[in-house]
Amino acid sequence: MKTRTLGTGGPEVSAIGLGCMGLSYGYGPATETREAVALIRAAFERGVTFFDTAEAYGPFVNEEVLGKALAPIRDRVVIATKFGFPGGDVQKGLDSRPENIRAVADASLRRLGTDRIDLFYQHRIDPDVPVEDVAGTVRDLIREGKVKHFGMSEAGTQSLRRAHAVQPVAALQSEYSLWWREPEAEVLPTCEALGIGFVPFSPLGKGFLTGAISEATTFDKTDFRNSVPRFSEENRKANQALVEVVKGIAAGKGVTPAQIALAWLLARKPWIVPIPGTTKLHRLEENIGAAEVELGPEDLATIADVLGKVTVQGDRYPAHLQQRVGR
């Protein structure tokens, strides 16, 4: 597995990481712990060294599973986790008060079974707490040795600049994929200017870009995609046009649609590190294989031409969650 560096002074990680949320939260019933541990270790054995979790995933369960899985290889991997919700409950609003950041750091260290958090993200901007206070608190945790690097998630460019002035931000994690390209307008240029790495979550469009989801697909009742406008039956049918194009490009190169979607992200910038998630070993291997897929200038031009003609239908979040991003 090739490696990349997040930010000017950030950690060196595998070119493709593993988003662990779906093992415990968001996409239906949680994966049995033994199976989740096996998948995480299989990822490491195949070259993945960058693992993403959060106190909110479960809540708490995901960190515990990841900590158990990585305990034998802790010094050979980079662990990212997040703070920003009261009691880790996304339904209860936001909480990035300094005292909560410190409490989450200590609790996450215990659950992960480690003495330091490699990358500590603010999960969402809290409008009631100045980002300078957030960055300052993480700066203090870095000085104390509990945290190695500071990250932000779904932050807008103004917040990113303000925080970075207090404590350098190693990475910004936000949604970015062939069907959500808004970061290209302002966020990616800002990251490049400040020397901040970019970590796309949902790089496969929450599964849609794999080609395995159609308008006829039904999700588990606990799957959050049931509440996402972009995943309404009508919008899935309309958005199938993009998937068909990706399928065509993939067929021409003898790879899968998912590998094209991930390779496209890797080709954007050398400091972009996508973190696709999965619960299945064959999908894990497919995603990792994308690191070896080379997209030449003609491939990228073809994709750009197609993207210019396809309009994706539906918002990526329900209204109450949309208010938490881009601040």
pLDDT tens-place string over residues 121-162: 999 999 999 999 999 999 999 999 999 999 999 999 999 999
Q: Given this model, what pLDDT does residue 319 score?
A: 82
Asked whether the predicted pLDDT for residue 320 surpasses 90, the reply is: no
Report yes or no: 315 and 326 within 8 Å, Cβ to Cβ.
no
**Rounded mean pLDDT of the chain?**
96
Q: What are the counts of helices (DSSP H) followed by strands (DSSP E) for the chain?
A: 11, 9
> Quick one: pLDDT band at residue 317, thresholds 50, 70, 90?
confident
Question: Tens digit of pLDDT for each residue in 216-244?
Answer: 999 999 999 999 999 999 999 999 989 99
Phi, psi of 315 (to 5 degrees): -70, 155
Asked whether the predicted pLDDT for residue 310 surpasses 90, the reply is: no
Q: Given this model, what pLDDT does residue 322 score?
A: 85
Could you give the percent of the chain with pLDDT greater than 90? 93
Q: Given this model, what pLDDT does residue 324 score?
A: 87
Instruction: Please report how many Cα atoms fall inside a 13 Å half-sphere around the Cα of residue 69, on the Cβ side.
Output: 30
Q: Given this model, what pLDDT does residue 145 score?
A: 98
Q: Tally Cβ neighbours within 10 Å of residue 158.
A: 14
Q: Given this model, what pLDDT does residue 243 score?
A: 93
Q: Which helix (H) or strand (E) holds 117?
A: strand 117-122
Q: Given this model, what pLDDT does residue 306 score?
A: 87
Ranges of each domain in the chain = 3-206+268-293
> Which one-letter amino acid corresponds to residue 158?
Q
CA dist., res. 109 & res. 114, Å (int): 5
Average pLDDT over residues 257-274: 98
Place of tokens 């990250």: 151
- Tell me the C-alpha to C-alpha distance, in Å, between residue 205 and each of 97, 179, 196, 200, 312: 32, 7, 23, 10, 11
Closest-CA residue to 232 (of 133, 312, 112, 157):
312
Asked whether the predicted pLDDT for residue 269 surpasses 90, the reply is: yes
On whether the 3-206+268-293 domain is CATH 3.20.20.100, my answer is yes
Question: Tens digit of pLDDT for each residue in 29-64?
Answer: 999 999 999 999 999 999 999 999 999 999 999 999
Asked whether the predicted pLDDT for residue 197 surpasses 90, the reply is: yes
Positions marked active-site: 57
Q: Given this model, what pLDDT does residue 39 score?
A: 98
Q: Given this model, what pLDDT does residue 321 score?
A: 83
Q: Given this model, what pLDDT does residue 76 score?
A: 98
> Which one-letter amino acid corresponds to residue 210?
T
Average pLDDT over residues 310-324: 88
Ranges of H-type helices in 86-145: 98-112, 131-143
- Tell me the C-alpha to C-alpha distance, in Å, between residue 220 and each of 60, 171, 225: 22, 32, 9
Is pTM beyond 0.75 here? yes
